[in-house]
Amino acid sequence: NAGVTQTPKFRILKIGQSMTLQCTQDMNHNYMYWYRQDPGMGLKLIYYSVGAGITDKGEVPNGYNVSRSTTEDFPLRLELAAPSQTSVYFCATSFWTSTQTGNTIYFGEGSWLTVV
């Protein structure tokens, strides 16, 4: 049982390049999230998904795209990297239904991204 797996752990991108951060979970959680955390700051929600085929924007979605074709995978795409996207990215999962709310949120180890 690996939990939440994020790749890559570290990446340096040049301005204008594109890349995908991968997130996979094996806990059969329906909710998945992408957060970014700038140095010394809190976690800001980029996108989240309530299940396969359904995604929604969070607080800071500009410059990112997501897809959720399966329960297990929730990749985050950066199309045209900008220095402002230098951050640590965390994928997280949880199980949430109308009758079963408030379950533990599990985080991946994080992906350190630098755009130069």
Residue 11 CB burial class (10 angstroms; 0-12, 13-18, ≥19): middle
Q: Does 109 bind other proteins (CB under 8 A)?
A: yes
User: Judged by CB, which is closer to other proteins: 82, or 91?
Assistant: 91
Q: DSSP for 43-87, please give it.
A: EEEEEEEEETTEEEE-S--TTEEE--SSSSB--EEESS--GGG-E
Question: Minimal distance in Å, beta carbon 73 to other proteins?
Answer: 19
Q: Does 21 bind other proteins (CB under 8 A)?
A: no
> Could you say which residues in the range 47-106 bind other proteins, by CB under 8 A?
48, 50, 56, 58-59, 90, 92, 94, 96, 101-102, 104-105
Beta-bridged to residue 64, according to DSSP, are: 78
Among 19, 27, 45, 60, binds other proteins (CB under 8 A): 45
Q: Which whole-number Å values give the CA distances from 113 to 23, 25, 55, 69, 98, in the listed order?
A: 15, 21, 23, 24, 36
User: Judged by CB, which is closer to other proteins: 10, or 14?
Assistant: 10
Query: Rule CB under 8 A: which residues touch other proteins?
Result: 31, 33, 35, 41-45, 48, 50, 56, 58-59, 90, 92, 94, 96, 101-102, 104-105, 107-110
